[in-house]
A and B are shown apart, each in its own frame.
Chain A
């Protein structure tokens, strides 16, 4: 077991130092888990549903732990790295994700989620949700991964590039394509939408 002292020390370190120290003291990796597992879980749950996400997140941190010796020590924040691993784990569960999107595309919007920050914009988005689910289904896997890392995980373009292991120029051009598709679908030219 990691000593209480070691865990306390770990809590004061940035992710990079923590991962480096965990090479010698593996238990310190638990601090990284405590620090980021909620966030990674929420992202994964949004994509796969909470039940599958419980397993998926456990996989993410095990994979991260086993690959920690390859972590780029120059990067103080491990979130993009963890999101990258999460993206791969989600890909393994893509079938479940697709089914979930299709199910959600046909549910009347009587469960609009949190209302404590209710605003006109939020209402709009909630109203559009089944349509958005359908738009997501129309994106390629690579486009969907990128869009959701930016929109849901709120990664910067640089972080998203790191998470996906692609150049930032690719992030920009891919997002450009995504925006065009979304615009087309939302902007009154969604011929596939039986509700439209």
Chain B
């Protein structure tokens, strides 16, 4: 019988692709070549033993193709003001258009991608240490979720957790950029977990129905349905885009979740002020910040309001993000190499024998 705490990890075991095709054949051939060498030249075995075989990388396991072609680019500005958010250097300034009250909504089409650019800071733990890790993220999410997108993470210099120093383990990622394939929704998955625009634009524009949708999201059974609904609200907005009617309905729905408070002039990581829906849990107030005119998601902020572990002063910021741009583009970027494939739509794979 597996302990409950371990079972929760076993049940959440990520799907993994099977070891098929070319990579497996290559590994087997290499092993057989080594075996053949050992048989023929046993005295040279020590020499080959020290050799590390490099360059077996999969060829074209996930080919990211076609250039980023500018569509409409929108930097989410605050309260109709100018787009003061500095985008990444690669984004042409001329393409940055402030969203204002009369600016047309994005109308992405199937086949296109929504590019979300954000800067994030959250707590991270490793090797018994804790620190605040920071990233710049770009997510290319397909407008219709049947195809793959891409996530680029640039790891920035970490910051110390309040009252602590930055541990060595936190520094290893700084200035590294990683790429991850992001699968669209998996065939057979329930509709309500989709986050692609094609699906989100079909969600109810009525706040009551949207509220029911938030509570319908797959969630834990520990009875804290309101906390899960608030999580669902966060995930509905973070790195996703909906038409205004759905955004407004979701905002209104979120406001009615028990425990949610509304605050004005809450600042995101880019210094933009917006209206925030906040909820306290375990000594931390998580606020989702929105443009009050357009209900665009600006970012999130996590502020210590009570007892947290390790202790941090009330008022400390443990999470701070800004979604600095939402752009419609025609294609994924070119010249991206070393993309980590996403096997999460593959069958869990293999037979699973019960343990113990």
Find A156's partner among B184, B231, B235, B356 (CB 8 Å cutoff). Answer: B356
Contact B35–A65 (Cβ < 8 Å): yes
A46 engages B16 (CB within 8 Å): yes
Give the interface size bracket for B toward A: 35 or more
B58 at interface (Cβ–Cβ under 8 A)?
yes
Contact residues in A for B231 (Cβ distance below 8 Å): 195-196
Asked whether any CB of chain A lies closer than 8 Å to the CB of B309, the reply is yes
Per-position 1/0 for B24-46, Cβ under 8 A of A: 10111011101110110000010
Q: Is the CB of A110 within 8 A of B145?
A: yes
Interface residues of A, dominant DSSP: helix
Q: How far is the CB of B55 from chain A (nearest CB, A)?
A: 9
Interface string of A43-78 (1 = CB under 8 A from B): 101100111111101110110011000000000000
The reply on B240 being an interface residue by CB < 8 A is yes
Q: A38-B350, A111-B342 are in contact. Are A50 and B302 (CB under 8 A)?
A: no
Binary contact readout B1-26 vs A (1 if CB under 8 angstroms, 0 otherwise): 01101111111111111110001101
The contact size tier of chain A is 35 or more
Q: Are B173 and A98 in contact (CB under 8 A)?
A: yes
CB distance from B353 to the nearest CB of A (A): 6
Given A109-B235, A134-B125, A140-B128, the answer on whether A129 and B12 have CB atoms closer than 8 Å is yes
Q: Given contacts A38-B350, A189-B282, are A65 and B34 in contact (CB under 8 A)?
A: yes
Q: Quick one: which of A54, A108, A109 contacts B56, CB cutoff 8 A?
A: A54
State whether the Cβ of A20 lies closer than 8 Å to any Cβ in chain B.
no
Q: Is B84 an interface residue (CB 8 A)?
A: no
| Cα–Cα distance between A150 and B122 once the two chains are bound (Å) | 29
Residue of A nearest to B308 (CB): A191
Say yes or no: A102 contacts B133, CB within 8 Å: yes
Task: Tell me if B35 and A27 are in contact (CB < 8 A).
Answer: yes
- On chain A, the residues within 8 Å of B352 by CB distance are 154
Interface residues of A (CB under 8 A from B): 1-2, 22, 25-27, 29-30, 33-34, 37-39, 41-43, 45-46, 49-55, 57-59, 61-62, 65-66, 95, 98-100, 102-103, 105-117, 120-129, 132, 134, 137-138, 140-141, 147-148, 150-152, 154-156, 175, 178-179, 182-183, 186, 188-196
